[in-house]
Amino acid sequence: MSVEHTASVTQLNPKDINSVIIEAIQDIKGKNIIKIDLTKIDESPTDYFIICEGDSTTQVGAIAHNINKKTRESLGIKAFHTEGLKNSKWVLVDYFDTIVHVFLGETRQFYDIEDLWSDGNFTEYQDL
């Protein structure tokens, strides 16, 4: 990744990035979408988590791919890192200030990230 590219990610408004990510999830019918604002928590790994789930590994992978596609097309940015596409039970897409977790339903229940970060500010989004 080029230094210029990284700078452009940090110059964008996180609200704009988050909005595009949530729309990309809804495009592929991702479910139970939650944004956790971690900005008031000392030593959090990022400013925002966006968490959602798909009904199958195919859908989980499709959601992650659509997130990458939409952020590239709409904002001209690329994820710093994407991990978990091989099995697609839990795919992590990292945009520095926002980390997206796309889960298979039972995997999401097992790891229960929402409980681990329950002191964050939660926003729920409608399933489409």
> Is the model more confident about 85 or about 10?
85
User: Does residue 125 lie in a domain region?
Assistant: no
Give yes or no for residue 127 having a pLDDT over 70. Answer: yes
Q: What is the CATH number of the domain that holds 72?
A: 3.30.460.10
Which tens digit of pLDDT belongs to each residue from 85-108? 999 999 999 999 999 999 999 999
User: Does residue 127 lie in a domain region?
Assistant: no
pLDDT number for residue 9: 52
State the average pLDDT over residues 31-59: 96
- pTM, entire model: 0.89
Confidence of residue 12 (pLDDT cuts 50, 70, 90): confident
User: Does residue 54 lie in a domain region?
Assistant: yes
Classify residue 10 by its DSSP letter.
H
Distance, in Å, from the CA atom of 95 to the CA atom of 103, rounded to the nearest integer, reads 17
Q: Please give the helix or strand (H or E) that residue 34 lies within, else none.
A: strand 31-37
Under 8 Å between Cβ of 26 and 125? yes
Question: What percentage of residues in the chain have a pLDDT greater than 70?
Answer: 91
Domain that holds residue 43: 3-119
Three-class DSSP category at 111: helix
Distance, in Å, from the CA atom of 74 to the CA atom of 55, rounded to the nearest integer, reads 26
pLDDT number for residue 3: 36
